[in-house]
Structure 1
């Protein structure tokens, strides 16, 4: 085992431990918050006409990964003469790129509100997970939206950044997170259709492998959530491509099949149509699957680190 592989493995392990024990860094010093502020500032200055908006959006899509991925590389390079400080900064920056604990807490807050019959609280909690209007969602649709978001973000907020870390270290993880953050903020429908096209396509490209890996991991951990491996495989195969996104439906369909529930975004898609309507308890089961798949994804990424850097 080379020193580089051992170093990357320790950074990965400590970042996971940080996430489990401490959760997210304070907002004022959180790199992902800075990513959002940069892109919102650029969005405010965006032109409205289609072609200028598309070109401005292309600039936004390139600038985020360059600023944060390149900035991380430069900062770590500058800190090379101070190994202890460099190591702490490396763990901190990598931790900021993924959010397993925060995702679990967000999902469980919706579950608790639904269990208490607090629909207003459930809708409020769901706003931290989805961008859609939650004001008219019934309890089954609130549960479905929470399950969908936790499933999709198993890739976006956990498996994907950890995988990019294995491939290219902290700079790659932050570059991925910057691209993903832009897509979440702008999208490519409605008011920002032309502005968001480049960012959405970049995010689609970066998530082609992670989304499918995440679906496979969710299939493998299904028994830990008292869920069906065969159901997950069957629904992933049949319904994984039914969402508008080429990637989001893969982990969502795997979870729908594993739990035996139907996940519907009215007017857009229905995954696992033969399943029952989801309840609040399915959110907690999805959170368990998410945590297990994230940890298995971390082990997979650790193996990849040793293969790529083990010498």
Structure 2
């Protein structure tokens, strides 16, 4: 079996494992990486960009190197190569968990349990839940589903197709560091700068593929391809994130809803612009966003597996 065939098959199997099993409840490798990063931060933290860049480089390069070493060990056995890629794909994907958390929010909103919905939404977003009413929670949930479809499903698959196990692990290291230190708090404004910029670069192509897939698959949730594309062209630039903007705009257009607006993060108010047309999301729109997320994930898998197969002849 050629290495590219093993890579494609491993991506398919890993995606299937995430679809059926979701994240492991205990001993998750990403959680272990987070603990390692937090322990290292206690030694490396300085209020400077240089210190943050060094911290980020050590962790990302170390993770990529581990992936390279693992692939070299597995090089002579096609079965081990497939199993290794499948295990790494399963470890870094978060599609099932994302959909489970979103559905849990929708269930609490449908039951009129606003306090429970506020607690549940903190599993998906960093904004202050105390300020959110039912409509605000629905909007936050739909926006999180959109952004995390790109971050937790599409991007890992593309990096896995392009660079195998090192790409899968390296991407997840970058994305995890961005979540840990890439936000604009007083502590991390400088220290987390490198992690945030690296995450922006790593998601540049995946976010645009996610937006294109969401627009193209809009009819699966009763939406319009044209409306989704129009929202991306017109509104993506309103969002402060260069990657979340296109994806959230595409979901807004596909769902026929308006996303974006003012959010509160730890007392800091941030205006994320207006994305899409139509009314604000309702509780029932969370289920539609989840269906669109699943369709985008399946489309990204097809692209990634096809890419992994096709790069073989060129690489040789």
- With the length of structure 1 as denominator, give the TM-score of the two structures: 0.93
Shift of residue 32 of structure 1?
Answer: 1.1
Q: Which whole-Å CA distance do the structure 2 matches of 1:57 and 1:236 have between them? A: 33
For 2:104 and 2:83, the matched residues in 1 are separated by: 31
Partner residue of 2:265?
none
The answer to whether the Cα contact below 8 Å between 2:52 and 2:195 also exists between their aligned partners in 1 is yes
C-alpha deviation, 1:64, in angstroms: 2.5
**Map 1:159-198 → 2, pairs under 5 A:** 159-191=154-186, 192-198=188-194
Q: Which residue, out of 33, 51, 60, partners 2:31?
A: 33
2:217 corresponds to 1:218: no
Q: For the residues of structure 2 that align with 1:127 and 1:188, how far apart are their CA atoms?
A: 16
Gaps of at least 5 residues in structure 1 are: none
Query: In the alignment, is the contact (CA less than 8 A) between 1:31 and 1:93 conserved in 2?
Result: no
Q: Which among 247, 271, 275 is matched to residue 278 of structure 2?
A: 275
Q: Residues 164-204 of structure 1, C-alpha deviation per residue, up to 9 Å, x if partnerless?
A: 01101011111011101111111241221001111111111
Which residue in the other structure is 1:45 paired with?
A: 43
Instruction: Give me the CA root mean square deviation.
Output: 1.8
Structure 1 consecutive aligned stretches of length 4 or more whose deviation exceeds 6 Å: none
Partner of 1:9: 8
The answer to whether the Cα contact below 8 Å between 2:68 and 2:166 also exists between their aligned partners in 1 is yes
Choose 215-224 or 81-90, whichever is displaced more: 81-90
Question: Residue 263 of structure 1 aligns with which residue?
Answer: 259
Shift of 1:159: 0.4
Q: Measure, in 2, the Cα distance between the counterparts of 1:189 and 1:45.
A: 21
Distance 1:222 1:274 in 2: 14
Corresponding residue to 2:246 among 246, 250, 259: 250
How far apart are the structure 1 equivalents of 2:131 and 2:79?
A: 52
The verdict on how the C-alpha distance between 1:223 and 1:58 changes in structure 2, with shifts beyond 3 A counting, is same
Distance 1:170 1:220 in 2: 29
* Unaligned runs of at least 5 residues, structure 2: 263-269
Flag the 1:161–1:93 CA change in 2: closer, same or farther, 3 A: same
Could you tell me whether the CA contact under 8 Å between 1:27 and 1:33 is conserved in 2?
no
Map 1:133-172; keep pairs closer than 5 Å: 133-172=128-167
Provide closer, same or farther for how the CA distance between residues 170 and 187 of structure 1 changes in structure 2, counting only shifts above 3 A: same
Corresponding residue of 1:101: 96
Is 1:206 matched up with 2:189? Answer: no
Give the TM-score normalised by structure 2. 0.91
1:20 corresponds to: 19
Q: What CA distance in whole angstroms lies between the structure 2 residues aligned with 1:227 and 1:24?
A: 30
Structure 1 residue 248: deviation in Å?
Answer: 0.8
Three-state SS of the structure 2 residue aligned to 1:117 is: coil
**Could you tell me whether the CA contact under 8 Å between 1:165 and 1:173 is conserved in 2?**
yes
